[in-house]
């Protein structure tokens, strides 16, 4: 009886903490399994094999993460992917496109400010017909899948469980901090970049709380990365872009350029993100907070 109380709550459901530990353990097993299998088969790494091999790796990881989360939703809650704001229906494409455009807006504003204010320069990138299919296409697709698996875990399953166990605002903050810590090993990581990344992750959690649409979050994450990395050639979380339509170089103080971490440690980038998301959520969703996973929202088709 005591063991049952430890694992099962008064509603005869697994407690939130155990659900989170189980998903972390299973996702860790997926990552280890994919990498072990990759090495066992002798498949080339990203640098040796190129972007198409990197895309294959992204497909395997994203499929594994999605499979684990859907399995746990069925096992623990008798719910499908709708419960985390991921309905596989017609509106999914529309929400993803809206999110992609929304994610690109802060980047466009930052670049515009840099050019108009004399804090940056722009040049034509190295994008050509010869690089679109072998390099750009697989990198963009892989970028979408990698954004998707992070959102599935953080703003999908984890934020839902924390919203049920604690409250949505705390869930947004916790997942935001974790999002920042996940970037701690990136090249050029600095305290300013990690702090701003954690704050940006909290804002994304808030967007999920207000909208209830994980498709919107996946699109936002992808749009942010693609606009910075593939459109403007900016350094993204410490990583330089290989192929982009334009190459924008930010100049001036580190508070504007972000230093070694890139533009995501730039104060104007954070300000623009706050303004864009505040405007979008206030106008589109009013002042009502929609906790993902609440009884009224479970199974929502939005």
Measured CA to CA, the distance from residue 51 to residue 34 in angstroms comes to: 17
Measured CA to CA, the distance from residue 222 to residue 145 in angstroms comes to: 9
In this prediction, residue 285 has a pLDDT band, given cuts at 50, 70 and 90, of low
What pLDDT is stored for residue 237 in this prediction? 84
- Model confidence pLDDT, tens digit, residues 185-199: 888 888 888 999 999
4-33 average pLDDT score: 80
What pLDDT is stored for residue 255 in this prediction? 87
Encode burial over 260-288: b for 16+ CB neighbours within 10 A, e otherwise: bbbbbbbebbbebbeebbeebbeeeeeee
Residue 190, token pair as written in the block: 């600095």
HEC profile for the chain? CHHHHHHECCCCCECHHHHHHHHHHHHHHHHHHHHHHHHHCCCCCHHHHCHHHHHHHHHHHHHHHHHHHHHHHHHHHCCCHHHHCCCCCCHHHHHHHHHHHHHHHHHHHHHHHHHHCCCEEEEECCCCHHHHHHHHHHHHHHHHHHHHHHHHHHHHHHHHHHHHHCCHHHHHHHHHHHHHHCCCCCCCCCHHHHHHHHHHHHHHHHHHHHHCCHHHHHHHHHHHHHHHHHHCCCCECCECCCCCCEEEEECCCHHHHCHHHCHHHCHHHHHHHHHHHHHHHHHHHCCCCCCCCCCCCCCCCC
48-57, 162-171, 231-240, 286-295: segment of lowest average pLDDT:
286-295
Strand partners, 239: 236
- Model confidence pLDDT, tens digit, residues 92-111: 999 999 999 999 999 999 99
Is residue 79 pLDDT above 50, yes or no?
yes
Q: Which pTM value belongs to this model?
A: 0.89
- The radius of gyration of the chain from alpha carbons, rounded to an integer in Å, stands at 20
Could you give the dihedral angle defined by the CA atoms of residues 127, 132, 137 and 138, in that order, rounded to the nearest 10 degrees? -90
* Cβ atoms of 68 and 23 closer than 8 Å: yes
22-27 average pLDDT score: 95
Whose CA is closest to 27, among 15, 19, 38?
Answer: 19
């Amino acid at each position: 009886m005591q063991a049952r109380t430890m694992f099962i709550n008064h509603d005869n459901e697994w407690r939130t903490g155990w659900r989170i530990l189980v998903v972390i353990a299973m996702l860790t097993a997926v990552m280890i399994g994919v990498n072990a299998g990759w090495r066992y088969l002798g498949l080339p790494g990203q640098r040796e094999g190129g972007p198409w091999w990197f895309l294959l790796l992204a497909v395997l990881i994203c499929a594994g993460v999605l499979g684990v989360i859907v399995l746990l939703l069925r096992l623990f809650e008798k719910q499908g992917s709708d419960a985390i704001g991921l309905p596989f229906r017609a509106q999914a494409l529309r929400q993803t496109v809206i999110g992609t455009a929304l994610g690109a807006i802060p980047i466009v504003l930052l670049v515009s400010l840099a050019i108009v204010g004399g804090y940056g320069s722009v040049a034509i990138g190295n994008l050509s017909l010869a690089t679109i299919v072998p390099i750009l296409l697989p990198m963009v697709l892989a970028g979408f899948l990698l954004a998707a698996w992070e959102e599935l875990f953080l703003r999908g399953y984890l934020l839902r469980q924390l919203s049920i166990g604690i409250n949505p605002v705390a869930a947004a903050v916790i997942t935001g901090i974790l999002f920042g810590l996940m970037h701690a090993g990136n090249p050029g990581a600095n305290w300013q970049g990690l702090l701003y990344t954690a704050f940006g992750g909290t804002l994304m959690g808030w967007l999920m709380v207000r909208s209830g649409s994980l498709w919107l979050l996946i699109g936002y994450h992808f749009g942010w990365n693609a606009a910075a990395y593939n459109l403007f050639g900016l350094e993204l979380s410490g990583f330089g872009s290989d192929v982009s339509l334009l190459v924008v170089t930010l100049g001036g103080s580190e508070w504007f350029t972000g230093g070694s971490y890139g533009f995501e440690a730039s104060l104007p980038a954070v300000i623009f993100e706050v303004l864009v998301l505040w405007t979008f959520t206030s106008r589109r969703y009013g002042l009502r907070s929609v906790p993902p996973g609440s009884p009224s929202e479970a199974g929502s088709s939005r």
